[in-house]
Amino acid sequence: MAELNTGDSGGGKDKKVRSKKQNSKVDLTAMVDLAFLLITFFMLTTTLSKPQAMELGLPDKEKPNEEDQNIKVDENRTMTIMLGDNDKLVRYVGLLATPVAGGAPKDFIYGKEGIRKELLSRKAAVLKYTGDPKKGMIVIIKPGKKSNYRNLVDILDEMAIVDVPTYAIVNDFSPEETKLLEGNKK
Amino acid sequence: MAGKSSKKAASIDMTAMCDVAFLLLTFFILTATAKIPEALPVDTPSSTVQTKLPESNLATLTIGGKGKVFFDLKGREVRIRTLELMSQKYGVEFTDEEKAKFSLMEGIGVPIGNLKQLIGMKTAERSKAGQPGIPKDSLDNQLSDWVKNARIANNEANNANGSKEELHIAIKGDAKEEYPSIRKVMDILQDQGVNTFSLVTGLRGKNF
């Protein structure tokens, strides 16, 4: 070390020794900073990279249409949501032929300003109508053939956000419903 | 002289802190599992749910690219056993080496007849191979057999451990995938009596 110093400053011997001492101590602050930055990065990536998942329970497939035949559901409690192509969404309340007041088939958009407002107001109305917290709203989701997976997940997510007590995915379309959904395109 | 000594006092010895930091860093790097490249990259739709997928006992069915279905399974032992059951059923023999390689592979999307060829490829080749998806027609429903055998293998493994946990099945669909192809997969699951499964989604902001 001493040989490397060309000694142009012309300092004394004691000065050289002191500089040697100082050099032996490396400033580790920057290294610690870097290490902690990397730790933070790895901690966050390991915990955040786990994918989210939405639980979906479907009714048993064994006896189709049994529900329709045996269990009579008050049509005032049901809302049917049909999903079409290009993110179209039609909903009606009650039966299609005789919808409940204000529940005629109507287009909605996804999200906060669209179907969620309707779901919330309808949910409150149903509770008022039945007067029994156990008999809440029933939502029937009918994804059309042209609807995509995002639409389905979006509407299931709305169910979770609005906290609809009962909802089901139904794949049967009546001719009237198909007409409604397809006529909706224009 | 006095100024120099005061400088020295201001600097704290960082050696121990550095040691600890790097120890933790090493720990996190080692525990982080290397991400296996996905066989079929899909853009999952987002939702507000916070539930995480389990780490084990999981089979993932990835749906994307116009109805292609890929199958993936967690756990090496379960994978090997599933492959054995499949090879019994379809009469395709696999060597121990191929089984071991299969146990470390990412999701697969080829008919069972082409699986041997797929296992033989390198990882980089596999992702470029353009796998056609697992057949799921009513005549040649290999997807159903994969799921069924995975469930059997998983139950065997869990019974050996004394656990009664069933195989968890997750559907990971592309956001743009049309509903009928999703429904087809759900139908296959329901035909086996699997009525509960997870839909893999991305994370969406809270104020959605």
Inter-chain touch A152–B182, beta carbons under 8 Å: yes
Q: Which residues of B touch A153 (CB under 8 A)?
A: 45-47, 175, 199, 201
- Average pLDDT along chain B: 83
Residues facing A93 on adjacent strands: A79
Q: Which residue did the predictor score with more confidence, A3 or B107?
A: B107
Task: Walk me through the domains of chain A, giving residue ranges and CATH numbers.
Answer: 1-52 (no CATH), 66-183 (3.30.420)
How many residues comprise chain A?
186
* Cα A176 to chain centroid, rounded: 31
The pLDDT assigned to A37 comes to 92
CA pseudo-torsion sign A145, A151, A152, A156: negative
Q: What is the DSSP letter of A115?
A: I
* Alpha carbon of B4: minimum distance to chain A alpha carbons (Å): 10
Contacts of B14 in chain A (CB under 8 A): 27-29, 31-32
pLDDT(B99) > 80: yes
pLDDT at A79: 85
Length of chain B, please?
208
Chain A residues in contact with B72 by the CB 8 A cut-off are none
Indicate the residue of B50, B193, B198 with minimum beta-carbon distance to A56. Answer: B198
Q: How far is CA A141 from the centre of its chain?
A: 17
Identify whether the C-beta of residue B188 lies closer than 8 Å to the C-beta of residue B136: yes
Q: How far apart are CA B9 and CA B52, in angstroms?
A: 49
Question: Mean of the pLDDT values across residues B15-23?
Answer: 89
What distance in Å separates residue B179's CA from the closest CA in chain A?
A: 5
Q: Which residues contact A108 (CB under 8 A, 6 or more apart)?
A: A89, A90, A91, A114, A115, A118
Interface A–B counts its CB contacts (< 8 A) at 148
Q: Tokens 């529940």 identify what position?
A: A103
Q: Say yes or no: A8 contacts chain B, CB-CB below 8 A.
A: no
> Which pLDDT belongs to residue B4?
47
Q: State pLDDT tens for residues A12-68.
A: 445 455 555 556 777 888 888 998 998 888 888 776 666 778 888 887 776 555 555
Q: Which residues of B touch A172 (CB under 8 A)?
A: none
- Which of A1-10, A58-67, B24-33, B154-163 is the least confident region? A1-10
Tell me what pLDDT residue B42 has. 82
Q: Please answer whether residues B42 and A153 qualify as being in contact, where contact means their C-beta atoms are separated by less than 8 angstroms.
A: no
Inter-chain touch A112–B208, beta carbons under 8 Å: yes
Q: Note whether A58 contacts B: Cβ–Cβ < 8 A.
A: yes
Burial of B9 (0-12, 13-18, 19+ CB in 10 A): exposed
A78 touches chain B (CB under 8 A): no
- Are the beta carbons of A54 and B177 separated by less than 8 Å? no
Query: pLDDT tens, A137-183?
Result: 888 888 888 888 888 888 888 888 888 888 888 888 888 888 887 77
Q: Does the beta-carbon distance from B28 to A157 stay under 8 Å?
A: no
Flag whether residue A72 sits within 8 Å of chain B, measured between CB atoms.
Answer: no
Q: Can you give the pTM of this predicted structure?
A: 0.74
Residue A10 has pLDDT above 50, yes or no: no
* Contact check, Cβ <8 Å, A51/B49: no
- Of A24-38, A72-86, B164-178, which range is least confident? A72-86
pLDDT at A11 over 60: no
